[in-house]
Amino acid sequence: MGGAVHTRHVARAVLFAAVCAMVLSLFVSTIAAQETAGETAWGEMYIGQAADYLLTVRSQPKELVVGVGHFEVAISGPSDIPPDLEVRLYASPPSGAKQTARALNTPEHPFAYVANLELEHVGDWTMTVDLTSGDVTQSVSFQAYVSGRSRDPSSSSVGTAVWGIMVASVLGVVAWLVYRSRRARAARGLGRSAPPG
C-alpha cells in the first residue's frame, strides 16, 4: 500500500514538472519570437515631399539601436524617376563623424533604394536623404533616436532567471512530495508497531 502511495506522489510530481516545463518553454519561445520580430520588422521613419517626389523612409530594426541600421527609401511621383537619379543617405550623430552611404535599387524593385549605415552612438541623430539628378539635388532631413543595444546581457538573462526560478520551484515541489510520502509511510509503520492499548 505504501509503495503504491509513494508511486502516485512521484507520478504527480513528474506530471507537474512536465506541465511546468511546457508552460516555461511556451513563455520563453514567445519572448524570443517577440525579440526576433522586433529586430526584423521594418518601421516608417519619415514620409514627405522632395520636389515632385513622395519619399517614404523605413528602417530595420523598427526601433534603431547602436549597430548597423538598414534603410529603405521608397520613391513615388507623378513622373518617371530619372535614370541617373542618385540617392544618398547621411546620418549625423550627436557627436562624432557623419555617416554616409549611397542607396541602391534593383531591377526587381526600381523605386526602392536601400543602404546600410553604422550607428555608433546613442542619442538623437539627424538623417538626411539627398536626391541628385544631373546638377540638381533635393534634400530632406528628419530626426531619429538611436538607443542602446536591446539584446544586452541584462535582457538576455531574463529567460535564464525565469528558468532558474521554475526549476527551483519544481524541485521544491518534488522534494515536498517525497518528504510527505516518507513521513506518511513512517507514520503507518509506527502505527503497526505500536502495542495495543
Work out the widest C-alpha separation in the chain, in whole angstroms: 113
Least confident of 62-66, 90-94, 177-181: 177-181
Taking residues 170-182, what's their average pLDDT? 71
Q: Counting Cβ atoms within 10 Å, is residue 11 exposed (0-12), middle (13-18) or buried (19+)?
A: exposed
Is the pTM higher than 0.85? Answer: no
Q: Counting Cβ atoms within 10 Å, is residue 5 exposed (0-12), middle (13-18) or buried (19+)?
A: middle
pLDDT band at 165 (very low <50, low <70, confident <90, very high): low
Fold designation for 42-146: Immunoglobulin-like (2.60.40)
What share of the chain has pLDDT > 90, as a percent? 41
- The whole-angstrom separation of Cα 11 and Cα 7 is 6
pLDDT band at 50 (very low <50, low <70, confident <90, very high): confident
- What is the reported pLDDT for 91? 96
Q: In this model, does residue 152 exceed pLDDT 60?
A: no
Taking residues 132-155, what's their average pLDDT? 81
- The whole-angstrom separation of Cα 129 and Cα 44 is 14
Taking residues 100-104, what's their average pLDDT? 97
- What is the reported pLDDT for 150? 53
More confident of the two residues 163 and 38:
163
More confident of the two residues 2 and 172:
172
Q: In this model, does residue 46 exceed pLDDT 80?
A: yes
- The whole-angstrom separation of Cα 94 and Cα 90 is 13
Name the range with the highest mean pLDDT among 62-66, 74-78, 176-180, 182-186. Answer: 62-66
